[in-house]
Chains A and B, each alone.
Chain A
Amino acid sequence: MQSGDVIALRVAGWGTEYLEDTSHRRLVLEYYDREQLPLRRYLLCLGVDQENCREILQETFLRLHQHLLAGGDQTNLRAWLFRVAHNLARNSQTAFHASRTGPLADAMTAGELASGGASVEDELLAKERTVRLHRAMQELSAAQRECLVLRSQGLKYREIAGVLNLSTSTVGENIQRGLERLKDVL
């Protein structure tokens, strides 16, 4: 059903009042609750800073609302969200700059990464491996990193291709090459 956000509840000769059709907003918030974390992970991995990340996220979901109001295609809203967030990040000047100052650096120094290792030695090893992996990810090409991060958030190659404007086979290649380079690090 294509309904507006506000429906008129009108009784003849009676004045005009309105009821809000909250269904779109509810859907937006449902998606927000489900996707804001994966989206933030993606944006932060792109090198978007926290403040921009919040703004982009807000804008992304406001656009989702507009998209729904306009009766836009709802077949794959998850991929749609990533695509919009990606494009907004591309447009923002500060995005895509950071290569070594990803969101993980803080966590590394703060020692927040849980390793689950039994001994202190194991834990240190695991932490070191994670740091190395993180660094190696920053060394990847932007496309490889983007593909790997989207993949890690559960997107299918076809969806990643849609987000990044690539062919599905190029997505596969990027994932493959990226993994190879990361494997060498470990």
Chain B
Amino acid sequence: MNVPDHLTDDLLVRAFDDELSDREEILVNAHLPGCEGCRQRYGAVRQLSGRIESVIAAGVPDALPNDRDALVERLEAAHVRPAPLPVGRSALRSFRWIGPIAAAVLLALLFVPRLARLLSENPTTASQDRPSATFEVDGETFIPLPYSNPDLPMSAPHIVEMQVPVASLASAGVMFEPVSNEAMASDRSVLADVLVGLDGQPLGVHVLSVE
């Protein structure tokens, strides 16, 4: 069998690296299976590449947990908090879960970046007329919260998973059937997905489970 031109080293290396153009690939695929010499050179490229990899990997410790912790700290220090607006307090203050949620609850934050579309299909979801009506966001059912503002654009809401005190839910007009009397105790809280609108207003709540 006549083998016209052997493959260049460059072609073999790039074949190994999966960096061939379509034309080159056709060339290599046509030549390589029939040429023992080029196949050996291809094997040498593979072997050398493997050795280089292990040389590079050698002597570098796998993990530095302290460094990760340091990064976490620096990331937390890095985010900028907007200045709070001076706004008066009201009865809604009893929604205590907003204030001290901080660390523990925030660990469970769940942000879902796909709600805008779905919400805009449900412009009446935050209606105050039907507080007991539910609406769906991506298959998840939410109870609209009474102070949601339907006039604001709902362009980028989040779902936030957090512990919500039962009393706070009740005072917001959202009742749910407790599974036991214990769950009714005022200091009880439930795990809930809270839908938060772009303006920071809670649009709805979906109770997940009793703590």
CA distance A138 to B98 in the complex (A): 57
Is the CB–CB distance between A10 and B200 below 8 Å? Answer: yes
Residues of B within 8 A of A152 (CB): 49, 52-53, 56
A32-B71 in contact given A15-B93, A65-B78, A182-B52 (Cβ < 8 Å): yes
Number of chain A residues whose Cβ lies closer than 8 Å to a Cβ of chain B: 69
CB distance from B93 to the nearest CB of A (A): 7
A21-B158 in contact given A7-B200, A179-B45 (Cβ < 8 Å): yes
Number of A-B contacts (CB under 8 A): 188
Determine whether B29 belongs to the interface, using a CB cutoff of 8 Å to chain A: no
Is the CB–CB distance between A20 and B59 below 8 Å? Answer: no
Residues of B within 8 A of A94 (CB): none
Is the CB–CB distance between B111 and A12 below 8 Å? Answer: no
Determine whether B90 belongs to the interface, using a CB cutoff of 8 Å to chain A: yes
Residues of A within 8 A of B88 (CB): 13, 15
Q: Mark A15-26, 1 if CB is under 8 A from B, else 0.
A: 111111111010
CA distance A57 to B165 in the complex (A): 41
Residues of A within 8 A of B199 (CB): 8, 10
Within 8 A of B (CB), among A88-104: 103-104
A44-B60 in contact given A11-B147, A172-B14 (Cβ < 8 Å): yes
A37-B62 in contact given A11-B147, A14-B93, A20-B79 (Cβ < 8 Å): yes
Residues of B within 8 A of A153 (CB): 56
Of the candidates A9, A112, A176, the one having the most CB atoms from chain B within 10 angstroms of its own CB is: A9
Q: Show the binding face of A for B, using Cβ within 8 Å.
A: 1-3, 5-23, 25, 28-29, 32-33, 36-37, 40-41, 44-45, 54, 57-58, 61-62, 65-66, 69, 103-108, 112-113, 129-130, 133-134, 137, 148-149, 151-153, 156-157, 172, 175-176, 179-180, 182-183, 186
Q: Show the binding face of B for A, using Cβ within 8 Å.
A: 9-10, 13-14, 17-19, 44-45, 48-49, 51-60, 62-64, 67-68, 70-72, 74-76, 78-82, 84-85, 87-90, 92-93, 95, 98-99, 101, 106, 109, 111, 113, 116, 147, 149, 156, 158, 160, 196, 199-202
Known: A11-B92, A14-B87, A23-B113. 8 other contacts (CB 8 A): A3-B111, A13-B89, A21-B111, A22-B111, A36-B68, A103-B59, A156-B18, A172-B14
